[in-house]
Amino acid sequence: MQNSRRFLHTTSALFAAEFRQCFELPAQYDYRQWFPMHMSVQLKKMEAKLRSVDLVIEVHDARIPVTGRNEQFFRHLYAIRPHILVLNKCDLIDMKRYKKRIEDYYYDRGVQKVLFTDCKKRLPRALNDVKTSMLYALENTPRFNRTVKTEYQAMVVGIPNVGKSSLINAMRTHTLGIKRKAVEAGARPGVTVRVQNRVRIMDKPPIYIIDTPGVLSPDHRNIEDAMKLALCDLVLESHEILAKTCAANDFRIQRSMGERWDFDRGAKHFIQLYRNSKFEDSNLDHHLF
């Protein structure tokens, strides 16, 4: 009960505060931190794999269904191969409110298939939708120079930490009944750092899937979008609202010069409230629909 009162008090304090309307990066910020060299290298490796790929499956975070998608993927991957967009973590948004609006947004822009999943819960209906859509795309589109092959191969792409590896593991369990992880998945961005070997996820017909590292858009300059990605834990993170958060939760730190608020702990607490779906609406792109 005490924890519940503290949470309500914290939440009330947060919403009572005035949020700033814009955020500006320091003038000395090094944009190379946003798009490290390994991302550029791995993107080129993905392009090199296209010769053996029949389908590209893009995974993105349903909380930001528009923000942060890598435009280079479209130019270098989707324009060449059939494409399915999977919005993962759909349990964190109000599907009754947003599902059709998101679908209409993308179908109006030429995306052929939009799917919603929650790979942590591995809901059978959602995974079956992915399976059905994959089979339809694979069996009803040209196979380019791979017509002699009896097997199919797909590639999963997306920005960091949206659930690419989790989708592969969930599909493998759903279709083959194998519970052991085929690829490593983690709670922090950057677990997959290079293009992986292929994983068999279906027997009839034989379908293999390639896991890839998260690659951000290299030309990102919109700080509002970057803040959304950080809030959703899709990029590594590195004061009035923090002061109120610390005061509501008694976050203090001792220093040689005396006691002060523990702003680092307050920031982590505020972000964790969002990531644990403690706010009313977790869709950060709601104004785009």
Provide the annotated binding site for GTP. Answer: 88-91, 161-166, 214
Binding-site annotation, residues: 88-91, 161-166, 214
Tell me the sheet residues that pair with 277: none
| DSSP tag of 61 | E
Closest CA to 84 of 161, 154, 146: 154
Q: Is the peptide bond before 189 cis (omega within 30 degrees of 0)?
A: no
CA distance readout (Å), 182 to 164, 194, 196, 201, 211: 12, 15, 11, 9, 10
Burial string for 256-282 (b: 16+ CB within 10 Å, else e) reads eeeeebbeebbbebbeebbbeeeeeeb
- 208 contacts 176 by C-beta, under 8 angstroms: no
Please list, in sequence order, all residues whose beta carbon lies within 8 angstroms of the beta carbon of residue 71, skipping any fewer than 6 positions away. 217, 219
As given in the structure block, the two tokens for residue 57 are 């499956």
CA–chain centroid gap for 66, Å, is 11
Q: Which residue pairs, CB below 8 angstroms and at least 24 apart, start in 180-185? A: 183/211
As given in the structure block, the two tokens for residue 154 are 């797909």
As given in the structure block, the two tokens for residue 139 are 């069996």
